[in-house]
């Protein structure tokens, strides 16, 4: 019999076993990586559905010849036949994204966050053009002009940063530097910034130098969708976001804008940078946006912030310093400067205790990126799995026990056992495997 119809556990027990092991690892330890989340079962079902097969290069519409701004949904914009159903799926994802975030235009084909930013740069800049974005060491993302990334090699990015003492973006310096650097695009939004970005201020600075404002809300998009965080829509010219972080959707990304910019974004995405869209992921994005519009998701978003805040308060009570002394969002950044271990050592000790986080640079960090003087801790994943106030407070106490005696493997093993006991009391999400 053909292996086509056999379950994974039978045709490939080795890989099946590894997936099982990874699931068990996740469910028996504490996940604090701020960019991670566990997707809903319905998202996983759509993502693992038989929609992988189809080539659908193009869009489920044509741009009107009469006007540049109108998408003609009834006309065939694909390069392959047989996309009648796929057109409906992609349209559903587009319309739900537009409704969820309140924009005129959405592109749902982006494979991931970094290519989404690449498409925006490609649409609105020429090679060598000037741009500005948050410094990597201050919480920026690789795709925001890092010298080792395509963005930093193709475009002339000038970084901006935070005021070291307060951890808040130095808007005054940004405004002055923008006048000198004359960027075509200013990127707002980062991977390790615990505070709300001042969108009106960014708009004002962009207007003063004629730059486009790109808000990359990859980290906090779920908080925006859940109405627990201000929206950049209305201030930004273009918004990019991943769908797999706080949005709790499948791996992937979207771009939001008005129709006028949408026309250029469409061309940059296809045929500019990407080819065949991943319809199984687009279907899963449609499910994700549907779930984000439910009242339950608003409670989730509010809980994510509440949990991050009380987690941060407990960390400070345990004697840790936080960048900007707290958070408005889903993440906290722990400043370990002045301690005799690096962020790397801290993260490695914590994972041995069943607590998973990542090392992170802090403002003014003197250690190199592989060492760092900080760790980043996020609440989205464990809030999804049902952790509440007491659980996050307990995690802060465990972190204190591990880091205060970082070489004490006996204590680390004790914490690991307690972690596993707590995790076992939470119902594990079901999925088909
Ligand atoms: C995660 C992230 C990205 C990149 O997303 P990938 O899907 O990993 O390519 C881009 N920008 C920001 C701000 C992010 O946090």
Q: Checking DSSP bridges between strand 156-160 and strand 130-134, what pairing results, if any?
A: parallel
Catalytic residue among 78, 184, 203, 245: 245
| Sign of CA pseudo-dihedral 11, 13, 14, 19 | positive
- Report the 3 state secondary structure along 132-190: EEECHHHCCCHHHCCCCCHHHHHCEEEEECECCCCCCECHHHHHHHHHHHCCCEEEECC
| Sign of CA pseudo-dihedral 258, 260, 266, 268 | negative
Which protein residues touch ligand 1 with a CB less than 6 Å away? 35, 112-114, 141, 143, 189-191, 216, 218-219, 242, 253
What's the token pair of residue 207? 């207007």
Kindly give the confidence (pLDDT) of every residue in the chain, 433 residues in length, as a single tens digit, with 9 standing for 90 and above: 578 889 999 999 999 999 999 999 999 999 999 999 999 999 999 999 999 999 999 999 998 776 667 899 989 999 999 999 999 999 999 999 999 999 999 999 999 999 999 999 999 999 999 999 999 888 899 999 999 999 999 999 999 999 999 999 999 999 999 999 999 999 999 999 999 999 999 999 999 999 999 999 999 999 999 999 999 999 999 999 999 999 999 999 999 999 999 999 999 999 999 999 999 999 999 999 999 999 999 999 999 999 999 999 999 999 999 999 999 999 999 999 999 999 999 999 999 999 999 999 999 999 999 999 999 999 999 999 999 999 999 999 999 999 999 999 999 999 999 999 999 999 888 766 6
Verify whether residue 122 is a known catalytic residue.
no
How many whole angstroms from 113 Cα to the centroid of ligand 1?
A: 4
CB atoms within 10 A of CB 414: 15
Verify whether residue 99 is a known catalytic residue.
no
Verify whether residue 118 is a known catalytic residue.
no
Catalytic residue among 57, 76, 95, 411: 57
- The residue whose C-alpha atom lies closest to atom 10 belonging to ligand 1 is 113
- The residue whose C-alpha atom lies closest to atom 3 belonging to ligand 1 is 113
Catalytic residue among 23, 45, 55, 204: 55
- Please, what's the b/e burial string for 98-130 (b: 16 or more CB within 10 A of its CB; e: otherwise)? bebbebebbbbbbbbbbbbbbbbbbbbbeeebb
Helix (H) or strand (E) holding 222, with range, is helix 221-225
CB within 8 Å of 247: residues ≥ 6 apart: 37, 221, 222, 225, 241, 288, 292
How many whole angstroms from 251 Cα to the centroid of ligand 1?
A: 10
Best mutation site among 157, 218, 360, 378 for ligand 1 pocket (most ligand atoms within 8 Å of CB): 218
pLDDT of 432: 61
Place of tokens 């330890």: 29
pLDDT of 68: 67
Q: Checking DSSP bridges between strand 156-160 and strand 185-188, what pairing results, if any?
A: unpaired
Q: Kindly report the backbone phi and psi dihedral angles of residue 193, in degrees, each rounded to the nearest multiple of 5, phi listed first.
A: -115, 115
pLDDT of 46: 96
> Which atom of ligand 1 has the smallest separation from the CA of 191?
15
Strand partners of residue 72:
62
Strand partners of residue 321:
335
Domains of the chain, with CATH numbers? 42-292 (3.40.640.10), 303-423 (3.90.1150.10)
User: Measured between alpha carbons, how far is 307 from 390 in angstroms, rounded to an integer?
Assistant: 9
pLDDT of 32: 98
Assess contact for 385 and 356: CB atoms under 8 A: no
pLDDT of 431: 67
Best mutation site among 141, 187, 194, 221 for ligand 1 pocket (most ligand atoms within 8 Å of CB): 141
For 301-369, list the strands marked E by DSSP: 321-322, 331-335, 355-356, 358-360
User: Measured between alpha carbons, how far is 346 from 339 in angstroms, rounded to an integer?
Assistant: 10
């Amino acid at each position: 019999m053909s292996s086509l119809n056999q379950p994974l556990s039978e045709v490939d027990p080795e890989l099946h076993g590894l997936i099982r092991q990874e699931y068990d690892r996740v469910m028996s330890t504490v996940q604090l990586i701020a960019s991670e989340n566990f997707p809903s079962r319905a998202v996983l079902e759509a993502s693992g559905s038989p929609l992988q097969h189809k080539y659908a290069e193009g869009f489920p519409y044509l741009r009107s010849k009469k006007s540049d701004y109108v998408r003609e949904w009834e006309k065939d914009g694909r390069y392959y036949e047989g996309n009648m159903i796929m057109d409906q799926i992609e349209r559903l994802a587009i319309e739900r994204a537009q409704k969820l975030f309140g924009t005129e235009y959405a592109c749902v084909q982006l494979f991931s966050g970094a290519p989404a930013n690449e498409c925006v740069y490609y649409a609105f800049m020429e090679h060598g053009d000037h741009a500005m974005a948050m410094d990597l060491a201050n919480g920026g993302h690789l795709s925001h002009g890092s010298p080792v990334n395509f963005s930093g090699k193709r475009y002339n990015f000038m970084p901006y940063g935070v005021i070291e003492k307060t951890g808040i973006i130095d808007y005054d310096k940004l405004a002055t530097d923008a006048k000198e650097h004359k960027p075509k695009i200013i990127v707002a939004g980062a991977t390790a910034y615990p505070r709300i970005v001042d969108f009106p201020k960014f708009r004002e600075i962009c207007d003063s130098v004629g730059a486009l404002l790109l808000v990359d809300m990859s980290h906090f998009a779920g908080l925006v969708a859940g109405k627990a965080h201000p929206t950049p829509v209305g201030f930004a010219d273009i918004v990019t976001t991943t769908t797999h972080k706080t949005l709790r959707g499948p791996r992937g990304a979207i771009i939001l804008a008005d129709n006028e910019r949408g026309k250029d974004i469409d061309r940059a995405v296809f045929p500019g940078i990407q080819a065949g869209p991943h319809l199984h992921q687009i279907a899963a994005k449609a499910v994700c946006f549907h779930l984000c519009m439910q009242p339950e998701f608003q409670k989730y978003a509010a809980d994510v912030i509440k949990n991050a805040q009380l987690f941060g308060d407990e960390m400070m009570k345990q004697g840790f310093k936080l960048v900007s002394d707290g958070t408005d969002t889903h993440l906290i950044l722990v400043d370990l400067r002045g301690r005799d271990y690096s962020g790397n050592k801290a993260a490695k000790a914590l994972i041995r205790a069943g607590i998973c986080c990542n090392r992170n640079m802090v403002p003014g960090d003197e250690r190199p990126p592989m060492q760092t003087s900080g760790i980043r801790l996020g609440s989205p994943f464990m809030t999804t799995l049902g952790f509440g106030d007491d659980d996050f407070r307990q995690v802060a106490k465990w972190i204190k026990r591990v880091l205060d005696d970082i070489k004490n493997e006996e204590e680390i093993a004790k914490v690991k056992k307690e972690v596993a006991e707590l995790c076992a009391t939470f119902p594990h999400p079901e999925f088909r495997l």
